Structure 1
């Protein structure tokens, strides 16, 4: 039985699709099982091929990426979606994540980052490019008034410092240098943050913190 990752690619530009297929072909663990040139075709191919991940552009004819995400969310077991697009404006990023995207990348990413993102999304995790995470933070910096959540975990000042740098996409080593801490200490803080927020990875920690308004607090 093959362990190769089965990817469905949806993009309206032929040359872009050809380039992505060619690049992904360099990874022996990934198969592009089908290609779609519009949103309606993407939905049909998802239903017939049941890929591990849908690699989806947002601007497409007939049905755009947000529409595809919205329709897929109606499935009992929706295919995980990784958005790969040229658009990094706040509204597109937030709309895609709210519509159910598991990850969001810009088309200037490296092949290494793209393949890592595909595997992470297929494994049920989220993957957001650091620059996009910063966009989400900026969008939620001044949230609309809303009913407060029933419970907001208490993070220490140092944990909040670490969380803010996590949200900016910094790796542990750079966080340690910035805060004058040992890298092992930073790892402990990251683990404590994820435990308190009830999540299992760094991206979910940032998204959960945004939902709770933790990153907008002084």
Structure 2
């Protein structure tokens, strides 16, 4: 329903032609290869994987393509993972039709476009010298380790975390081991329990 509504919204925009709509990441990749669109609007939560991990695959198939993330996720970890992967814009699903159309035009021109809430997060990140705003809990962890611990607390496995940050499984395993050592957890389950007790599950 959301994709149908988004398609209708875009078709009302001036100089925008919708060449396809995909339910899964693999369908999207096939459409990109076939249609070679100027812009791909991509969600994070896909039935067959994480949208962030799809960004470099799309750019490999269509280097000229510009990717706009349109998603419900606006936490620091997701925003920066998408930008590192190569996304040119990032807006949240509560954006109105006018903003969505404006974002598509802006990204198509080669410029970046970000929702106001995302701009605020980026500004805070830069102002803090690159430190995450939510690392007061377990300050012994690096920003990346803290982000991984948050996902662990949410019940995410290593494969999901690797896709989320576009990292290798070996790198994720090393991060998880470092997290456990730094917070004094003898097992992954204990690390998750400590994180949840500290309230990280909802971050």
Taking structure 1 as the reference length, what is the TM-score of the superposition? 0.56
Greater RCO between the two (CA within 8 Å, min separation 6)?
Answer: 2
Consecutive unaligned residues of structure 1, counting only runs of 5 or more, are 1-14, 145-218
Large movers: runs of 4+ above 6 Å: none
**Hey, what does 1:32 align to over in structure 2?**
18
Q: Any residues of structure 2 matched to 1:129-208 within 5 Å, and which?
A: 129-140=115-126, 141-143=128-130
2:49 to 33, 41, 63: 63
Consecutive unaligned residues of structure 2, counting only runs of 5 or more, are 132-203
1:74 to 57, 60, 68: 60
1:78 CA displacement: 4.0
Q: Distance in 1 between matches of 2:75 and 2:48?
A: 22
Instruction: State yes or no: 1:104 paired with 2:90.
Output: yes
Q: Deviations over 1:81-110 (max 9, x none)?
A: 000001111111010011100000001112
1:118 to 78, 92, 104: 104
RMSD over aligned Cα atoms: 1.6
1:43 to 1, 12, 29: 29
Higher mean C-alpha deviation, range 58-67 or range 89-98? 58-67
**Hey, what does 1:195 align to over in structure 2?**
none
Q: Distance in 1 between matches of 2:40 and 2:62?
A: 16
Give the match's secondary structure for 1:95. Answer: helix
Give the match's secondary structure for 2:19. Answer: strand
Give the total of aligned pairs. 130
Instruction: State yes or no: 1:52 paired with 2:38.
Output: yes
